[in-house]
Amino acid sequence: MAVKGLGKVDKQYDGSKLRVGIIHARWNREIIDALVKGAIDRMLSMGVKEENIVVETVPGSFELPWGCRRFVEISHQEGRPFDVVIPIGVLIKGSTMHFEYIADSTTKALMSLQEKVGLPVIFGLLTCMTEEQALARAGIDEGHTMHNHGEDWGAAAVEMAVKFNP
Ligand SMILES: O=c1[nH]c(NC[C@H](O)[C@H](O)[C@H](O)CO)c([N+](=O)[O-])c(=O)[nH]1
């Protein structure tokens, strides 16, 4: 079965034993909420239990790497460790270089975070030139021109956690 945006999924992964953390920024909230819902809906469809999906927020995308690291560490301290974590943020280019600096530094920090936390960290950062681009990638633009990228992130989270579970 070809899943739009993910290419051919080589098999359906059973997420029923997984615990997943979603940590999202609060900038561009309408778009964020659609992406988070997309990720949750896809993971529920892959068997993840609703009570095993924990959602936390941070002010903006720049706070995602540190927030994500502490979110994972606290899940261990509480004896309910995550199997995978999905940081979600929406960066929209403004009239300054702020966008470039946040996009580059946050992306690199999230990539290297995987080594630090020993878990898959799914890349849920939208870096868009316009609000229209961001709305489309959350599946909520006028013409629904694209699928909700949050669904891809949810599917990637289940696959990575199941396939490469330490
Ligand atoms: O998540 C975002 N944070 C943004 N800035 C805030 C930043 O992530 C930090 O929260 C802030 O700089 C405080 O550290 C954005 N812009 O500035 O455009 C943005 O588009 N998206």
User: pLDDT, tens digit, for every residue of 38-54?
Assistant: 999 999 999 999 999 99
Ligand 1 atom 19, closest CA: 91
**Both structure tokens of 16:** 């029923």
Interatomic CA distance for residues 71 and 65, integer angstroms: 10
Where does the pLDDT of residue 4 fall: very low under 50, low under 70, confident under 90, or very high at 90 and above? low
ipTM beyond cut 0.90: yes
**Both structure tokens of 76:** 């261990």
Is residue 144 part of the annotated active site? The answer reads no
Ligand 1 atom showing the smallest separation from residue 28 Cα: 21
- For residue 129, the CA-to-ligand 1 centroid distance in Å is 14
CB 21 within 8 A of CB 133: no
- For residue 16, the CA-to-ligand 1 centroid distance in Å is 34
Nearest Cα to 82, choosing from 20, 163, 22?
20
CB 106 within 8 A of CB 63: no
Strand bridging mode 20-25 / 84-92: parallel
Where does the pLDDT of residue 58 fall: very low under 50, low under 70, confident under 90, or very high at 90 and above? very high
Interatomic CA distance for residues 89 and 45, integer angstroms: 23
Average pLDDT score over the chain: 94
pLDDT digits (tens, 9 = 90+) for 74-89: 999 999 999 999 999 9
